[in-house]
Amino acid sequence: MNINARTAIILLVKGLFYKSDNEKAWDELIEGSHGAISDYFEVVGLIVMCDESEGFAYLQNMSYEEGEEGLPKLIRSRELSYKVSLLCVLLRKKIADFDMQNEDTKAVITNQEIKDMVLLFIPTKTNEVKTLKEVDVSIKKIEELGFLRKLKNQDGVYEIKRSIKAFVDAQWLNELDVKLQEYREVEG
């Protein structure tokens, strides 16, 4: 394997790999060594997922049929807090709205716009200062997940990464609805 294929492997292992991270490695992943890279990860039970039109790739656990012997999952699922889940849904909606209205490639949002969106769904009887700090923590978590990126030289301005479209899909929203219903039953 050449240096670009090995770089693509390393970037995939680190998490979401965007075309803009390393164009040579991206081209190698898509056009050159896709089969070899896929085979490399298949050995440990992972699949390389690529969205060429949006310019990102990531690793996903292989799924196995009922009764089929499979490998242990290498990538753990993460439980997200209510505010992080809510923020994911709101950002997904925001990028869909942005795509319908704009031809630019970057969906941009400010820290204040994020807070305003989230506060619409938080009960007003809570401590607003505490809630705003929790929203800041949620924004940081979304950054760590790779769905938001701070823009350089623009304080409090973020790019909503298009990878959120692959993770917050209809199935994810259905699972969230089930969890919210369970939450309501416990709280109610």
- pLDDT for 162 equals 84
Instruction: Please state the rounded mean pLDDT for residues 2-19.
Output: 91
- Give the tens place of pLDDT for each residue, 61-87: 888 777 777 777 887 777 777 788 888
CA distance 172 to 24: 32
How confident is the model at residue 187, as a pLDDT?
56
CA angle centred on 165, ends 124 and 162, rounded to 5°: 100
Amino acid type, 122:
I
Q: What is the DSSP letter of 77?
A: P
pLDDT at 124: 63
pLDDT at 7: 93
Q: In terms of DSSP bridges, do strands 46-51 and 56-61 run parallel, antiparallel, or are they unpaired?
A: antiparallel
83 to 19, 93, 136: CA distances (angstroms): 29, 15, 10
Q: Quick one: which of 72, 46, 59, 54 has its CA closest to 8?
A: 59
Amino acid 161 reads: K
Least confident of 3-7, 118-122, 137-141: 118-122
Give the pLDDT band of residue 57 (cuts 50, 70, 90): very high
How far is the C-alpha of 156 from the C-alpha of 149, rounded, in Å? 10
CATH class of 82-187: mainly alpha
In angstroms, the CA 29 to CA 27 distance is: 5
Looking at the whole model, is its pTM more than 0.75?
no
- What is d(CA 22, CA 15) in angstroms, rounded to the nearest whole number? 14
Question: What is the secondary structure of 161-186 as a DSSP string?
Answer: PTTHHHHSSHHHHHHHHHHHHHHHHH
Domain ranges in the chain are 3-61, 82-187
Residue among 18, 160, 16, 154 nearest 102 (CA):
160
Nearest to 26 by CA among 35, 14, 17: 17
CB–CB of 37/47 below 8 Å? Answer: no
Tell me how far the alpha carbon of residue 94 is from its chain's centroid. Answer: 14
Q: Residue 181: pLDDT band by 50, 70, 90 thresholds? A: low
Q: How confident is the model at residue 121 (pLDDT cuts 50, 70, 90)?
A: confident
